[in-house]
Amino acid sequence: MARKHIGAQTVRLEQPPVIVGAAAVAGPVEAQGPLGHEFDLTYPDLTVGQDSFEKAERQMMIDACNLALRRAGIQQKPPAVDYFLAGDLLNQLITTAFSGLELGVPLYGLYGACSTFTEALSLGAKLIDGGFADRVLCAVSSHYGSAERQYRYPTEYGSQRKPYAQHTVTGAGAVVLASAGEGPRITYCTTGKVVDWGVADPLNQGAAMAPAAVDTIEAHLRDTGRSVDDYDLIVTGDLAKFGYEMARRLAAERNLYLGENYRDCGVMVYDTTKQNVDSGGSGCASSAIVTCGHLLKEMARGRLRRLLVVSTGSLFSPTSFQQGESIPTIAHAVAVEA
């Protein structure tokens, strides 16, 4: 009997894992945004001292992991963690694979597109609560140059972008979960379902993902018996301005009213009035660097006690798009409590 499963999609953790270390690293555009001062490490350019965007992304994930491990008091190499749960946006998870090679820890490579951050946290928390691990390292990354080259148009093409398009966040976030220690705890994990409302424009990811975000938030509240007001803050991953407003409207149509305590990481990470980032941020790193670089620090400052992070993912493939398919999406949620 799955005694920890409540409702249709949510797990209540009996021994909530502790976030004992976290770190966020970010690129130059993110460093210039309103949260730039919160990130643990920023880079002056997109190459991060490497000779390709892909190698730069790999270096970011490794840097974020090492910083998070150091925060957790884990200094040895290979680090004393049981599993490394990580994901990125590149084909065959090459950032994750090479980072796993560098770290030398048993690896589960994950792909949930931009929802991978909370997917990793959910699975890591379940491994610990289930008694299968004492410490788990979770990490994700994304990079403007590598993602644009793979999914849309290489930046060198200078292609014209639409107002609802998004800017892939360059950065990486890492979290160390432990069975004991000091820090905020992951108390609930809600696993999303694949949702597809027929959006087929690869630039309009916010509109594609908004229904999945609302679906998962609604499932979490229904399963747990909580309300929107039970959270100091609910954040979605990377809907950006257009998707964020769409999520509000869709939620209201379901009699779910997202108030002032609802925000989107893709909006928070940039100043869209001053930075040339179109509608806002997207990518695995969007929810990761905002959570690791800002929100967990706000919890440490006592400004947040209960947080719901809902990372949103567009399960988009250039192959399926070229074959005329629409874009399936998903969102996963974790509740983090001080």
Mean pLDDT across the chain: 93
Q: What pLDDT, on the 0 to 100 scale, is given for residue 280?
A: 85
> What is the mean predicted confidence (pLDDT) over 64-76?
96
> What is the mean predicted confidence (pLDDT) over 212-220?
98
How confident is the model over 22-53, as pLDDT tens digits? 999 999 999 999 999 999 999 999 999 999 99
Q: What pLDDT, on the 0 to 100 scale, is given for residue 296?
A: 98
Q: What pLDDT, on the 0 to 100 scale, is given for residue 157?
A: 45
Domain boundaries, the chain: 5-178, 185-337
Q: What pLDDT, on the 0 to 100 scale, is given for residue 3?
A: 86
Domain spanning 185-337: which CATH class is it, in words?
alpha beta
> What is the mean predicted confidence (pLDDT) over 202-231?
93
Given a cut of 70, whether residue 154 has pLDDT beyond it is no
Given a cut of 70, whether residue 158 has pLDDT beyond it is no
The reply to whether the predicted model has a pTM over 0.75 is yes
In the chain, pLDDT over 90 holds for what percent of residues?
A: 80
Q: Pairing between strand 329-337 and 262-264? A: unpaired
Given a cut of 60, whether residue 148 has pLDDT beyond it is yes
Lowest mean pLDDT among 58-62, 303-307, 319-323: 319-323
How confident is the model over 220-278, as pLDDT tens digits? 999 999 999 999 999 999 999 999 999 999 999 999 999 999 999 999 999 988 898 88
At the topology level of CATH, where does 5-178 sit? Peroxisomal Thiolase; Chain A, domain 1 (3.40.47)
185-337 has the same fold as 5-178 = yes
